[in-house]
Amino acid sequence: MTTRILVTGGAGFIGSHYVRTVLGPAGPGDVSVTVLDKLTYAGNPANLDEVRAHPGFDFVQGDICEPELVAKLMAEHDQVVHFAAESHVDRSIDGGAEFVRTNVVGTHTLIDAAHRAGIGVFVHISTDEVYGSVDEGSWPETDPLAPNSPYSAAKASSDLIALSYHRTHGLDVRVTRCSNNYGHHHFPEKVIPLFITNLLDGRKVPLYGDGGNVRDWLHIDDHVQGIELVRTRGRAGEVYNIGGGTELSNKELTGLLLEACGADWDTSVEYVADRKGHDRRYSVDCTKISRELGYEPRKDFREGLAETVRWYRDNRAWWEPLKERAAL
């Protein structure tokens, strides 16, 4: 029997890779996918060209905050994987209203409709940023939420709303919290694609503050692997951290990107004022998903970074119009 999956935000960076993977030759083979995406600036229909002709693929352009549309789609599906979100921290600092609307109101619209439609599994994709900042050690899923940006606060709120429907109504909700993703098809406002595309164009890259902020990097292949383990084998009402196992300071990351792009530090790096409320370090403890579901990151970071640089070098037609429109 085919499982009908509704994927929200499936034209974005991570969502589209999830769709390409599950409908690809290495996918489970027993699923069909409907993508619901508003196609905001970060949603790109070209990200789905690879699967557009697949008999198990459908696309609906629409807003997750539209109750009638959402209710109609829920009635036609068995499971939900919910990626749709406003996700750029800098944009949330400039104005948080759209983040609250999409991440909080949108998630509530979806989860309430899923409950009323009797959806079997609802996987809610979240972020390690909901935990705040940690100087030492790593966060287990039981740590309290302490978000520091309007973006992460909106995501933390959406986590709590989603989990409340499990506790109140018994809906099978499973939450994933990932570390920083990287890979191909990443919208060039985020640090790795922004730095790569700037360096390929011979432009400077902006390094916040002293460059000492630390992030754990997760390749999208590994993230999708973790999501599928949670969708197919996870437990209802549980939260699962998904990390990549490569912690780097932004200064260390910049050095690796300069090396991969053949650029020089002195002529290519520009120090800029630090981001407001910039979290110093993120680090997730992945013991739970490893022990329960057998997850382990497989992609070597240097190999993944080299592949990513190569993809942006070979796909200027994909990213140049995006940078021009956004004036990045």
Q: Which residues are catalytic?
A: 128-129, 151
Cα distances (angstroms) measured from residue 286 to each of 144, 176, 236: 16, 11, 18
